[in-house]
Every structure is written in structure tokens, then in C-alpha cells.
Amino acid sequence: MTPGQSTPEALLAHLDWMVEMGADEAIGDVPVDRFALPDKAPWSKPGARKQAATPSAPRGDTAADTPVQAPPKEDPAKAASELAASCADLDALRVAVEGYDGCALKRGARNTIFADGVAGARVMVVADAPDRDEDQAGRPLAGRAGLLFDAMFAAIGLSRSADAPAAGLYLTSLLPWRPPQNRPPSPDEIAQMRPFLMRHIELAAPEVLILLGTPPVRTVLDTQAGVTRLRGQWTALGDLPVMPMRHPRALLRDTGLKRDAWEDLKAVRDRLAAGGAA
């Protein structure tokens, strides 16, 4: 029906036609204007209505426009440094190291290796990372290498089991936990645990420091030079005299290196006889 046919007569004629076609009742009580626009847009998808009901915030007006960022991860080396610095004595440092869970090596090790020997000894020794023998024994320099070490230093009157600090040795390791399969420790593992080692040296306060092997030499002295180049030469960590020496493991592999080791031991003996002075 066109607008021109909307007269009362035309409408009545249209109604009569619909009745003749079988339309005998009205579908709704209220007339429906099919040309009017709906108040709300139709929706058909399950999520469309929910989405339309959520107003979009103006750009830049709310925090919704700011990307959500995960909180920054704590630097393990920084955390270790702060923890180590907070330790006032060796007992506190031992507790801190044993309770530190930031290094993955701890999960694969049998024991935490902190120290051995005589606290307050004139000579402190830093050995390489623990091996299987040391991990099982729970102390640095165990097994065959440990037996050779004890014999070497007994020759100049020093022992880890001495009754007096003057004749004693105080030992620790580069790391408190054995790397799996005796592999070399990674640079990240060494950097993470270095603050504990440096604080250990500071709190032990020896008169002479001995570094056994290249990893302890490079870590403590912060150098790229290895023990082959530096052994037998006195160097210093601040005011502390330092003697780099080959690790007993190296002497077991090559007995020809024992001559150099004896020369290094005599240099340590002479330094102690002079009161630690140059």
C-alpha cells in the first residue's frame, strides 16, 4: 500500500481483502510501525550484547590505555650483595649462605660447603668450585686433592686442624655448591655468589690469602690472567697479600708441577716469618 492509498476507504478495502485471505485475528494489541528505527542495535552473537554494554574509555583518560607490565625481576647479584653486606660475622654469613636459595646450584648439591679449618688463622685459602668428593664430605679440599693439600702445607708448618690460629689454615671454596657433573661454573653463577666470597674474605681477615686455581684468581682479583701466569708472584687485594697457586688437582694430573708448588709454599712461609710484610 502506497501513501496515496491511506484513505479510510482504501484501508477498509485492504482489511476486507485480508479477511478474505484468512486473516481472522490481530497478532498484537499494539500496531507496529515497521518504518521506525529501533532504540538499540539488534544483536545476534552471544558476546555482542556484553561488549556493547561496556562503554569504551576515552583514550588517555584512564589507566586502561597504559600497557600492563610485569614487576621487574630482582637482580640476584644485587640481592646477594645486600645480604652478604648485612652479615656482621662469620656465623651470620654461614647462616646467610646456607639459607640462600637464589642460586640453582643449591638444588643439585648434597651439601653446602662453607668453610673448614681454623677461624682466625693467619692464612686463608680459597679453592676452586667443589667437586664430587667435596660435595660428599661437606668441606673444601677433600679426597685425593685434599690429602695432597694437607701434606703440602704441613711441610711449612700449617694445618687446617691446628690448635692455634698461628699455625692454622682457614679454607673456603669459590662456590658453596658443586656444579652438576663437576662442570666448570658459569660466569653468571660466579658473579651471583661472588659477594658472599668477598665478604667471607673480609670477615676472616687473614694476614695472607692463597688462591688455588684460575677461577678463584680471576674472581677474587677481578682479572683475566690465569694461575699459570700469576703463580709464584705476590699480588694484593687492597692491603691483603695474595699468592696464586695451582690447585692440588692440577698437581695430581701433572706431577712435574710440584716443583713450582714447593717454591710457592716457601714464599708463603717466608712471608709469614716476616710478619706478613713484603
Average pLDDT over residues 159-166: 95
Compute how many other C-beta atoms are within 10 angstroms of the C-beta atom of residue 87: 19
Rounded to the nearest integer, the mean pLDDT of the chain is 86
Q: pLDDT-based confidence at 103, cuts 50/70/90? A: very high
Work out the pLDDT band at 213, boundaries 50, 70, 90.
very high
The pTM for the full model equals 0.73
Query: Looking at residue 65, what is its pLDDT?
Result: 56
Q: Give the count of alpha carbons within 13 A of 278, CB side only.
A: 8
| Residue 258, pLDDT score | 96
Q: What is the pLDDT of residue 27?
A: 62
Residues 174-199: tens digit of each pLDDT = 999 999 999 999 999 999 999 999 99
Greater model confidence, 77 or 118 = 118
* Nearby residues of 125 by Cβ (< 8 Å), 6 or more positions away: 117, 140, 141, 169, 170, 171, 172, 209, 210, 211, 212
Query: Is 206 or 29 the better-scoring residue by pLDDT?
Result: 206
Task: Give the DSSP H/E element, type plus range, for residue 136.
Answer: helix 132-137
Confidence at residue 75, expressed as pLDDT on a 0 to 100 scale: 74
Q: Which amino acid is at 187?
A: P
What would the pLDDT profile of 40-88 be if each residue is shown by its tens digit?
555 555 554 545 445 555 555 555 555 556 555 667 778 899 999 999 9
Sign of CA dihedral 22, 25, 28, 31: positive
More confident position, 141 or 18:
141
Q: Please tell us whether the domain made up of 76-273 is placed in CATH 3.40.50.620.
A: no
pLDDT of res. 52: 47
Could you give the C-alpha distances from 52 to 36, 44, 59, in angstroms and in order?
22, 12, 18
* Domain range list for the chain: 76-273
